[in-house]
């Protein structure tokens, strides 16, 4: 058996086949059934830096990004990464700032694992996975540099913008976290918040005035918004952007949130298996390296799309 | 209705349509690879996705299996960002449950369920953007998805809404027209036989006007059928070219 052969995977029962079958997969994610021979084929391939679809270990699948797909949101984006299909809508609503941060707005994340992705998500079936992803998103944005929250403040202690970032999972074909983080970044890039002014009269009562010009908007700087790079440990090597089949072969993976400068804002180990400390550092280095490249290409893609202007032919789900 | 004129003296509606005119419909079949059948439809600014899984074994409790026909299981959900004001939950609220039941009723009338006894067919619809006529868009998307899955049906199911303003029946209401609060009729039609799979009307309407509104909705549903038929034929043609036939 190929798994557990390398030094990467520790833990006594890790070589047992049923552990492999269960591991690397989140509670209720869409699953694939793989035979022992198929797994050996995948694991041996990864050791030779050649994956089933012909990619190398540090290659992403082709990513399709389109912004401004839902017109009644402040910003939206759709990302297709292999068979993984994500739609993100951002809605800006006015609210009161949090007590501990009176001069900042905030972001709220919600992930809907819709039954479209797999029948297992019907009813409340997708709630666990949705909460897990939403919590990860909260964590990667939980630092001062990701988004300039002060720009979302309208008047301290009274009014601020709340950005509701709603993620809709339409199809899952592996590597959910990376696809979602790319979609969130693209949607935040696309977000336009109406400009408001606070007018104060002599008696001290405040009035909020919305700009007359619908194009008079503020935009967020997404320069420091991190993207997640998930590194899947397969055998004694690790791969980025694993497909469902590869995820089924992996015992554990490491999730690294990297900014465009290579700063890590969050790190998590996911999956049932265990990882040894050396491989964690190794995976982190790969994550930073791959993350920087990912950011550069995403940024150029977003700017290119924007330069086409409002006359761009929208494709959406029709293309 | 203060301030808003739904139908001008010249016979134009708020968005410039004539009374019996549909909004622009664009659709595509086979959007997703993993599902058995899927489709996407845009009716004006209303956008809906439908996915079909099955027929497959009954999931969960075996007691739900029907000995003589397939169980049709529908879930309606609407994205939290789909409406003007953000929704708190995508599904599970009263309106979504009701929509799910209506869809189930509609498709039980159309799918030849007796061909697949003791099995289950899942139809999941997801509204991405809501601008009036969500029920109709969902039914139309689901029809295409069921066809894409290759599940035998009696006929297409084509749905359309209709309203009634100033003595004129309006077909395919937009959100503005729905929000104005007049009578609304939702109709799902099996166009070949002219049978009605679902009919629902809310608000008050004089009996004498019902026939006119019903006729407007049925005519619009037949127009929808022409369009959907075109989409299906185009899709099959493309698929057969890819298969090399």
Model ipTM?
0.91
**CB pair distance less than 8 Å for A317 and B77:** no
3-state SS string for chain A: CCCCCCCCCCCHHHHCHHHHHHCCCCCCCCCCCCCHHHHHHHHHHHHCCCCCCCCCCCCCCCEEEEECCCCCCCEEEEEEECCEEEEEEEEEEEECCCCCCCCCCEEEEEEEECCCCCHHHCCCCCHHHHHHHHHHHHHHCCCCCCCCHHHHEEECCCEEEEEEEEEEEEECCCCHHHHHHHHHHHHHHHCEEECEEEEECCCCCEEEEECCCCCCEEECCCCCCCEEEEEEEECCEEEECCCHHHHHHCCCEEEEEECCCCCEEEEEEECCCCCCHHHHHHHHHHHHHHHHHHHHHHHHHHHHHHHCCCCCCCCCCCC
More confident residue, A202 or A164: A164
Closest CB from A71, A110, A171 relative to B34: A171
Would you tell me how many other CB atoms lie within 10 Å of the CB of residue A306?
14
Domain ranges, ordered by start, for chain B: 25-243
In degrees, rounded to 5, the angle at the alpha carbon of residue A78 between the alpha carbons of residues A76 and A83 is: 160
Would you tell me how many other CB atoms lie within 10 Å of the CB of residue A12?
8
Cα–Cα distance for residue pair A133/A112, rounded to 1 Å:
10
**CB pair distance less than 8 Å for A114 and B83:** no
Chain B contact probe: residue of A86, A110, A122 with most B CBs at under 10 A: A122
**CB pair distance less than 8 Å for B124 and A114:** yes
Convert the pLDDT of each residue in A128-160 to its tens digit: 999 999 999 999 998 888 999 999 999 999 999
CA distances, A75 to each of A72, A221, B194 (Å): 9, 13, 43
Cα–Cα distance for residue pair A281/A261, rounded to 1 Å:
18
Q: Which range (A36-40, B56-60, B241-245) has the least confidence?
A: B241-245
pLDDT at position B245, please?
Answer: 65
Cα–Cα distance for residue pair B126/A27, rounded to 1 Å:
23
pLDDT at position A208, please?
Answer: 86
**CB pair distance less than 8 Å for B79 and A93:** no
Would you tell me how many other CB atoms lie within 10 Å of the CB of residue A283?
25
pLDDT at position A89, please?
Answer: 96
Q: Which range (A80-84, A229-233, B130-134, B179-183) has the least confidence?
A: B179-183
pLDDT at position B145, please?
Answer: 97
Chain B contact probe: residue of A67, A116, A318 with most B CBs at under 10 A: A116
Contacts 24+ apart (CB under 8 A), B176-180: B176/B4, B176/B6, B176/B14, B176/B15, B176/B132, B177/B6, B177/B13, B177/B14, B177/B132, B178/B132, B178/B133, B180/B1, B180/B4, B180/B6
Confidence at A26, pLDDT banded by 50, 70, 90: very low
Q: Which residues of B sit within 8 Å Cβ distance of A? A: 26, 28, 31-35, 38, 40, 42, 45, 47, 49, 51, 53, 59, 73, 75, 77, 79-84, 86, 90, 92, 122, 124, 126, 128-129, 131
Report DSSP state, residue B13.
Answer: B
What does residue A174 show for φ and ψ, rounded to 5 degrees? 90, 155
Convert the pLDDT of each residue in A64-117 to its tens digit: 999 999 999 999 999 999 999 999 999 999 999 999 999 999 999 999 999 999
> Is residue A123 less than 8 Å (CB to CB) from chain B?
yes
* Region A177-199 average pLDDT: 94
> How many Å is the Cα radius of gyration of chain B?
18
CA distances, B15 to each of B26, B41, B84, B128, B165 (Å): 18, 20, 18, 21, 15
In degrees, rounded to 5, the angle at the alpha carbon of residue B79 between the alpha carbons of residues A165 and B172 is: 135
Cα–Cα distance for residue pair A84/A75, rounded to 1 Å:
20
Confirm if A47 and A164 have CB atoms less than 8 A apart.
no
Tokens of A27: 């509670």
Chain B contact probe: residue of A115, A188, A314 with most B CBs at under 10 A: A115
Cα–Cα distance for residue pair B130/A93, rounded to 1 Å:
18
Closest CB from B53, B75, B79 relative to A166: B79
Question: pLDDT > 90: what percent of chain B?
Answer: 83
pLDDT at position B54, please?
Answer: 86
Q: Which range (A86-100, A142-156, B118-132, B208-222) has the least confidence?
A: A142-156
CATH numeric code, B25-243 = 3.30.230.70
Q: What domains appear along chain A, each with residue ranges and CATH number?
A: 12-307 (3.30.230.70)
* Angstroms from B120 CA to nearest CA on chain A: 11
pLDDT at position A1, please?
Answer: 34
Confirm if A60 and A252 have CB atoms less than 8 A apart.
no
- Strand pairing category for A84-95 and A159-171: antiparallel
Confidence at B3, pLDDT banded by 50, 70, 90: low
Cα–Cα distance for residue pair A48/A155, rounded to 1 Å:
58
**CB pair distance less than 8 Å for A317 and B33:** no
Closest CB from B34, B49, B79 relative to A83: B34
**CB pair distance less than 8 Å for A122 and B26:** no
Judged against a pLDDT cut of 50, whether residue B61 lies above it is answered with yes
> Is residue A70 less than 8 Å (CB to CB) from chain B?
yes
Closest CB from A70, A83, A171 relative to B129: A70
* Region B163-184 average pLDDT: 92
pLDDT at position B211, please?
Answer: 94
């Amino acid at each position: 058996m190929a798994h557990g052969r390398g030094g990467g995977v520790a833990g006594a029962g890790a070589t047992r086949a049923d552990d492999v079958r269960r591991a690397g997969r989140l509670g209720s994610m869409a699953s694939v059934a793989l035979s022992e021979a198929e797994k050996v084929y995948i694991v041996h391939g990864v050791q030779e830096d050649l994956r089933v679809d012909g990619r190398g270990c540090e290659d992403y699948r082709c990513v399709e990004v389109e912004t401004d797909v839902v017109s009644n949101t402040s910003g939206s984006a759709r990302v297709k990464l292999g068979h993984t299909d994500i739609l993100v809508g951002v809605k800006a609503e006015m609210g009161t700032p949090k007590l501990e941060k009176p001069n900042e707005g905030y972001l709220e994340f919600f992930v809907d694992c819709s039954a479209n992705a797999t029948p297992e998500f019907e009813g409340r079936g997708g709630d666990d996975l949705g909460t897990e992803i939403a919590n990860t998103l909260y964590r990667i944005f939980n630092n001062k540099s990701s988004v300039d929250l002060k720009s979302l403040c309208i008047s301290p202690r009274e009014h601020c913008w709340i950005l509701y970032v709603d993620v809709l999972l339409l199809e899952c074909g592996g590597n959910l976290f990376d696809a979602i983080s790319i979609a969130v970044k693209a949607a935040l890039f696309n977000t336009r918040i109406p400009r408001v002014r606070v007018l104060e009269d002599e008696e001290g009562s405040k009035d909020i005035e919305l700009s007359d010009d619908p194009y008079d908007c503020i935009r967020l700087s997404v320069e420091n918004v991190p993207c997640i790079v998930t590194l899947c440990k397969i055998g004694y090597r690790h791969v980025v952007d694993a497909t469902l089949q590869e995820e089924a072969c992996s015992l554990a993976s490491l999730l690294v949130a990297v900014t465009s400068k290579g700063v890590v804002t969050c790190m998590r180990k996911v999956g049932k298996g265990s990882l040894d400390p050396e491989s964690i550092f190794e995976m982190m280095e790969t994550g930073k390296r791959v993350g920087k490249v990912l950011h550069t290409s995403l940024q150029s893609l977003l700017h290119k799309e924007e330069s086409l202007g409002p006359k761009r032919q929208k494709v959406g789900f029709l293309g | 209705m203060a301030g808003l004129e739904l139908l001008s003296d010249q016979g134009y509606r708020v968005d410039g349509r004539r009374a019996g005119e549909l909004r622009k419909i664009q659709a595509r079949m086979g959007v997703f690879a993993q599902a058995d059948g899927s489709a996407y439809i845009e009716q004006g600014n209303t956008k809906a996705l439908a996915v079909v899984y099955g027929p497959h074994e009954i999931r969960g409790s075996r007691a739900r299996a029907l000995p003589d026909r397939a169980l049709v299981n529908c879930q309606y959900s609407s994205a939290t960002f789909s409406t003007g004001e953000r929704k708190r939950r995508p599904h599970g609220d009263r309106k979504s449950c009701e929509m799910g039941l209506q869809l189930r009723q509609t498709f039980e009338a159309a799918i030849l369920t007796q061909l697949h006894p003791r099995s289950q067919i899942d139809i999941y619809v997801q509204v991405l953007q809501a601008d009036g006529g969500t029920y109709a868009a969902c039914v139309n998307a689901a029809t295409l998805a069921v066809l894409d899955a290759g599940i035998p049906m009696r006929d297409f199911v084509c749905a359309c809404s209709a309203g009634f303003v100033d003595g004129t029946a309006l077909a395919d209401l937009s959100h503005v027209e729905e929000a104005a609060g007049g009578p609304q009729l939702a109709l799902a039609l099996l166009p070949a036989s002219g049978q009605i799979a679902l009919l629902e009307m809310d608000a008050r309407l004089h009996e004498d006007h019902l026939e006119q509104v019903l006729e407007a909705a049925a005519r619009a549903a037949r127009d929808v059928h022409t369009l959907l038929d075109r989409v299906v034929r185009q899709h099959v043609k493309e698929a057969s070219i890819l298969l090399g036939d």
